[in-house]
Structures are given as C-alpha cells and as structure tokens.
Amino acid sequence: MQVELLYHTPDPERAIATAARLCYAPVGASELMETMPPERVKSVLSTIMGSGHFSTLEHASYTFAVDGVSRALTHQLVRHRIASFNQQSQRYVKFKGEIPVVKPATVADNAETSALFDEAIECVTRAYRTLVEAGVPAEDARYLLPNAAETKIVITMNVRELLHFFELRCCNRAQWEIRNLAWKMLELARPTAPYIFADAGAPCVHGTCPEGKMTCGNPFPRVDRATLDQ
C-alpha cells in the first residue's frame, strides 16, 4: 500500500479559524486570514473542537493518492459518502499478464491456504485473458475479477469527514486493510494541522469506546485536549 498526500488547503488551521471567526467579526475573511495572531487562531480552534461546532472544519480539505489496495477495501471506502473518489477503471483498463492482487496475511502465512489462493487467482487471470482475447469487452470480462484485485484511487475529504473517517477506521475493530489506510492518512495529515488532528483516531483516543461488548479491550493512549490548550 502506498499513500501520498497530494494536496491540502494551505494553512488549514488558519483557514478554519478564519471561517469560524467571520461569524462574529466586523471585518472580512481575507483581512482575518492575514491579521489573526497565532494565539487567536489556537483560541478559536479550541472553542470549535471543544464545542463540537464542526461545520467550519468543512472549509479545509485533503486529497490523497492511494495505490496497491484491494477492491475489498475500496468497496468499504466509498461508503463514506461525504467525499470525492476517482478510481482506476476495470472497464477501460485491460489487464495484461498477471493481475496484481492483495493477499491477506492470514492467507499468506499458511502454505496450504496461500497455494489455494494463488491457484484461484491464476485460474481467474487465465479466464479473464481468454475472454479478452476472444473479443469480450474488458467491461464484461471484469466480472471475473476478485475483490483481491489491486486498484488505485484518489480520495478527497474535508476535515470534518476525515475526523469521522479516522474515528471509524482507525479503530482496532475496523478491517485490517482499511485500518492501515486510515492510519497512513492520519500520519500524513497530522503534521499539517497538529492541533486539529491531535486527538484524531479511534473513539478511545478522545472519549469512550462505543463498541460495548464488542470492544477490542486494547485501547489506544488517551489524548487530553485540555493539556493542549495550556
């Protein structure tokens, strides 16, 4: 899996603070953006994050390029509807040679199950190539392709949705592949807006676990946002 932060709103914390401060300021947003001192920016962000008034977080967005993940992952990913996605098309891209796949460790760690997996992928690959060579359009031959097939996708989310995504997918109970993706995205986003993303992640990082009896029993270290305001 390769994850790259392609672009984000410049100075996202200042942009968000500016949008929030505009509601109560006699001057325009452009003047606020230029003149608000850093301590005021942090004060406004503290109010936003503490009060739960997260609409202003939607004014900053992040775009990630993701390669080497499975279709199983992207089927979960696109359920996050407040986001934009562009994915490599199996309709227009004809696979030549081997079809790259993602093999779960639970399969790869056992010689017998790994061989069975490889055999199934080889069978699908051979059938796919035969269909394409017979003139079947790639958009129809792709019906054979497995969830394991590798894909590439570009993701854009605003900060509010990113925090929601991290809360759901950084959790130990999330499926392993999308959990790995979420943590990689968080590692890239956090340095760009360290205050906003300080307690991002699974719910146990900033609150209580909502899983009840299904809890993993292994919470992540708690981040106390109050200490960040000192």
Residue 162 near residue 84, CB atoms below 8 Å: no
List all residues 6 or more positions away from 179 whose beta carbon is below 8 Å from its beta carbon. Answer: 169, 170, 171, 172
Q: Is 175 annotated as a binding residue?
A: no
Residue 76, annotated as binding a ligand? yes
Q: Tell me if 169 is assigned to a ligand binding site.
A: yes
Residue 158 assigned ligand-binding role? yes
- Which member of 14, 21, 71, 169 is catalytic? 169
Q: Are 60 and 16 in contact (CB under 8 A)?
A: yes
Give all strands (DSSP E) within the chain, no chain letters: 2-8, 61-70, 84-87, 150-158
159 is in an annotated binding site: yes
Query: 128-161 as b/e, with b when 16 or more CB fall inside 10 Å?
Result: bbebbeeeeebeebbebbbebbbbebebbbbbbb
142 is in an annotated binding site: yes
Q: How far apart are alpha carbons 80 and 185 in whole angstroms?
A: 15
What is the Cα Rg of the chain in Å? 22
| Residue 81 assigned ligand-binding role | yes
Spatial contact of 40 and 17, defined as CB atoms under 8 Å apart: yes
Q: Is 43 annotated as a binding residue?
A: no
Q: Is 172 annotated as a binding residue?
A: no
Q: Is 21 annotated as a binding residue?
A: no
Is 173 catalytic? The answer is: no
Binding residues for FAD: 55, 79-81, 87, 158-160, 164
Q: Which residues are catalytic?
A: 169
Binding residues: 55, 76-81, 87-91, 142, 158-160, 164, 169
